[in-house]
Structure formats: C-alpha cells, structure tokens
C-alpha cells in the first residue's frame, strides 16, 4: 500500500469498491506528510501530536482525495460536465480534475466570500464560475437540484464517491503510525470529511487492520457552529471562509462519527483560529489556511484544559494550504520594512 508515487485509486483500489475497468483520473493525490508538531508535544506527559498536511495535495487541499474518485466515476459513467457548490476548495479540485478528464466544470460560489487563491484556481482551470448573491448553503440547495435540470453530475460530498476517496486519509495515517491516534481533531464545515475519516477508520477496524478506533473531535468556527448548537445556523460568519457553512449536508454521518467514537464538537472564535494559524506557521513552519487551523486551536485549548490524557497520540488534519488565502495572511502580519537600496539601510533594518 505504500506506492506513494501513484494516486489514491491505484494505491487503495481494493478498498474503494470501484469497477475494475475504471480509468483513474489522477494527479497523484494523497501520500501527504504526517509531520510531528514538536512544540505541541509534551514528552513529560507522553503526548505526541502530528499534523496531516493535506495542503500538500495537488490543488492544495484534501478535496483532491474525493475528487479523483468522483471525477473518475463521472467519466466512467459517461458524464461530460460536473457541478458543485463551494466555499472554494471543492471548486478548485473539481476544476482541476475535470480539466484533466476533459470535462466541463461549473462551480457555484458565494458572493465575495471566497479566498483569492481558490478563485484563481477555479478560473485558471477553466471552470465556469457562477457567483450567487447568497451563501454556500443556498448554493448547495441549488446544485443538488441541478442534475434534474441540466446534464451535469454533482460532485459535492453528497456524492458518495467523494467520501470513498477521502476515507483514504485515515488509511494513510494508520499505515504510517501502525495504529490510529487516540484523538483525531479536524475542522468541520459541510461535514463530509469527518464522516469520511470515520468510515476509513471503521473499515480498517472491521478488516482487522486496526485494533483501537480514535476519538473524533469536530472543530468549528464560533460563528458557523451548527454541530455545537445542535441546529442549522441561518447566517454563518467566520474569517475561516472554507467552513462558513450553517447547514451541513452530512449531518447524520458526522453525528454518528461523534457518538460512535465517544468524541465531541467544539467551536472557537475567529481570533483564536488566526492565532493558531500563526502559531503553526511561526513555530512549526507549516502554513495552513484559517479553516485548517481551527483543529489546532481546539487542540491547544484541550491541552490547556487537560482534556487530553497522558500517553495520548493526537492527529490534527491540516485540510488546506495557507497560500489559498493570502489576504487573510497578509492582513494579520506586520508590513514589510521599506528602506533605501543600500548596504547601510538594510544593515540598519537588521540591527534595529
Ligand atoms: C480547508 O470547498 O466545503 O466538513 O466547498 O476547504 O468536509 O466540509 C470546504 C470545506 C475544512 C471542511 N477545511 O470540510 C468547499 C468546502 C478546508 C475546507 C473544510 C473545508 P467538510
């Protein structure tokens, strides 16, 4: 299973239950780094923390795992066009994999609330970008109905092939650690990913490849926390635009992941999320996007509250690359120093 040069479908074919005749549409996604987050480990208490760096995927987020399978199957079934609603990353992945498959992509995005890098990707890969004067949840309702109106295949995570692809991240973690973590922290928006991880861990457990299942901790932004409130949020708002979602489609699956694993949902304020993003960038050298940092914000809080027992192994999924959202990064950083182009001026800037 460790042929890391190949894409997910060829690496995990037997676990994906796809027809043997499929021709994979792949960008060699997956096989992402599982990096020890040294500054969050606590050797005295025997706590070890890893980040699963999903920003290392071809389009810079975990969405590539689901999209390779969804687009492969759409092509296999003869579809010529795909559609999704997206807070950004799904549209980037759909656009890229559709381009590779020679298919058209239509992406429905919320007005003005999509990070610049993601918009650039969708546009550059030639997707038809349809911006609605509404939010992700409204876009989702529209695209779900679209296959009845136009010849398009829906590739949001309500498409079951998406979760099939995304469950491979759990396989990779177990393959690499030789076990599951005790705790798995990950951001939750539309809730496909937490459902997919739980599916992956559970399948490995059923086949005897895993003894002990992890406790799943679903992390949300305070202004977009339907799972913490136990109900739909009508007007979700957060700086972490990727998870600015109030009506998650995989509600029941995510609730099952929480209850079957003995886990919990938690939400944090935007400032804490940005602090965690900066912490990871400056202490660990890993630049993830704000939505990804919510998992680290939640872990830092849990460690402070001593909610993580001694001898625990913890994984945080870092779902997307920081370069996706340059505006948010720059707006929380100091301005560059502006100096004359001389040795003296640059030396003074260094010694200042
Ligand atoms: C970086 O792209 O929903 O709970 O339309 O981009 O599976 O939705 C993105 C979600 C976490 C949440 N981190 O995952 C979309 C979209 C990042 C994300 C999530 C998203 P889900």
Per-residue pLDDT of the chain in tens (352 residues, 90 and over written 9): 445 567 999 999 999 989 999 999 999 999 999 999 999 999 999 999 999 999 999 999 999 999 999 999 999 999 999 999 999 999 999 999 999 999 999 999 998 889 999 999 999 999 999 999 999 999 999 999 999 999 999 999 999 999 999 999 999 999 999 999 999 999 999 999 999 999 999 999 999 999 999 999 999 999 999 999 999 999 999 999 999 999 999 999 999 999 999 999 999 999 999 999 999 999 999 999 999 999 999 999 999 999 999 999 999 999 999 999 999 999 999 999 999 999 999 999 999 8
Measured from the Cα of 118, ligand 1's closest atom is 2
The stretches of 47-115 forming alpha helices (DSSP H) are: 63-76, 89-101
Residue 221 CA to its chain's centroid (Å): 14
Distance 242 CA to ligand 1 centre (A): 5
Distance 127 CA to ligand 1 centre (A): 19
pLDDT on residue 283: 98
Contact 158, 165 (CB under 8 A): no
CA angle 186, 188, 191 (to 5 degrees): 120
Q: How many Cβ atoms from other residues are within 10 Å of residue 312's Cβ?
A: 17
The pLDDT tens digits for 217-252 are 999 999 999 999 999 999 999 999 999 999 999 999
299-307 contacts, C-beta under 8 A, 24 or more apart = 299/40, 299/49, 299/185, 299/217, 300/40, 300/276, 301/266, 301/268, 301/272, 302/183, 302/185, 302/217, 302/266, 303/40, 303/42, 303/47
Q: Which residues contact 25 (CB under 8 A, 6 or more apart)?
A: 68, 71, 72, 75, 97, 100, 101
First-to-last alpha carbon distance for the chain, in angstroms, is 53
For ligand 1, atom 16, which residue shows the shortest CA distance?
87
β-sheet bridge partners, residue 185: 217, 316
Measured from the Cα of 324, ligand 1's closest atom is 1
Contact 326, 194 (CB under 8 A): no
Q: Which residue has the tokens 């650690």?
A: 177
Dist CA 239 CA 328 (whole Å): 8
Dist CA 317 CA 197 (whole Å): 10
Q: Which residues contact 27 (CB under 8 A, 6 or more apart)?
A: 7, 58, 59, 64, 68, 96, 97, 100
Measured from the Cα of 288, ligand 1's closest atom is 1
Instruction: Please provide residue 312's backbone torsions phi and psi, each rounded to the nearest 5 degrees.
Output: -90, 145
Contact 85, 108 (CB under 8 A): yes
Q: How many Cβ atoms from other residues are within 10 Å of residue 280's Cβ?
A: 26
For ligand 1, atom 10, which residue shows the shortest CA distance?
242
For residue 200, the SS3 value is helix
Tell me the pTM: 0.97
Dist CA 101 CA 74 (whole Å): 9
pLDDT on residue 80: 98
Instruction: Please provide residue 139's backbone torsions phi and psi, each rounded to the nearest 5 degrees.
Output: -60, -40
Q: Which residue has the tokens 């559970």?
A: 202
Distance 192 CA to ligand 1 centre (A): 8
Assigned token pair, 187 = 């951001």
> By C-alpha distance, which of 118, 303, 267, 262 is closest to 189?
267
Measured from the Cα of 92, ligand 1's closest atom is 2
Pocket of ligand 1 from Cβ distances under 6 Å:
61, 63, 86-90, 157, 187-193, 242-243, 289, 291-292, 319-320
Distance 243 CA to ligand 1 centre (A): 6
CA angle 64, 69, 71 (to 5 degrees): 85
């Amino acid at each position: 299973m460790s042929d890391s040069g190949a894409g997910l479908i060829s690496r995990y074919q037997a676990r994906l239950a796809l027809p043997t005749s499929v021709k994979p549409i792949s960008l060699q996604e997956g096989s992402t780094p599982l990096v020890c987050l040294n500054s969050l480990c606590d050797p005295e208490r025997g706590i070890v923390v890893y980040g699963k760096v999903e920003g290392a995927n071809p389009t810079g987020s975990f969405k590539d795992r689901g999209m390779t399978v969804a687009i492969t199957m759409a092509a296999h079934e003869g579809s010529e066009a795909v559609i999704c609603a997206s807070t950004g990353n799904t549209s980037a992945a759909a656009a890229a994999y559709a381009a590779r498959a020679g298919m058209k992509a239509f992406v429905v995005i919320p007005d003005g609330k999509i990070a610049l890098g993601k918009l650039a990707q969708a546009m550059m890969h030639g997707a038809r970008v349809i911006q609605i004067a509404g939010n992700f949840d409204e876009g989702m309702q529209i695209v779900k109905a679209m296959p009845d109106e136009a010849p398009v295949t829906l590739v949001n995570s309500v498409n079951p092939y998406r979760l099939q692809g995304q469950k491979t991240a759990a396989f990779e973690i177990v393959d690499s650690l030789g076990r599951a973590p005790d705790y798995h922290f990950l951001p939750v928006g539309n809730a496909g990913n937490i459902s997919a991880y739980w599916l992956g861990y559970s399948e490995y457990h059923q086949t005897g490849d895993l003894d002990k299942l992890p406790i799943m901790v679903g992390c949300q932004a305070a202004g977009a926390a339907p799972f913490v409130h136990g109900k739909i949020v009508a007007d979700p708002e957060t700086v972490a635009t990727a998870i600015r979602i109030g009506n998650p489609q995989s509600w029941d699956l995510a609730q099952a992941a929480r209850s079957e694993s003995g886990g919990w949902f938690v939400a944090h304020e935007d400032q804490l999320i940005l602090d965690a993003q900066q912490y990871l960038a400056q202490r660990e050298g890993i630049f993830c996007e704000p939505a990804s940092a919510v998992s680290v914000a939640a872990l830092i809080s849990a460690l402070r509250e001593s909610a993580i027992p001694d001898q625990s192994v913890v994984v945080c999924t870092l779902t997307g690359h920081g370069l996706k959202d340059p505006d948010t990064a720059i707006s929380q950083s100091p301005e560059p120093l502006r100096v004359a182009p001389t040795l003296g001026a640059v030396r003074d800037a260094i010694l200042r």
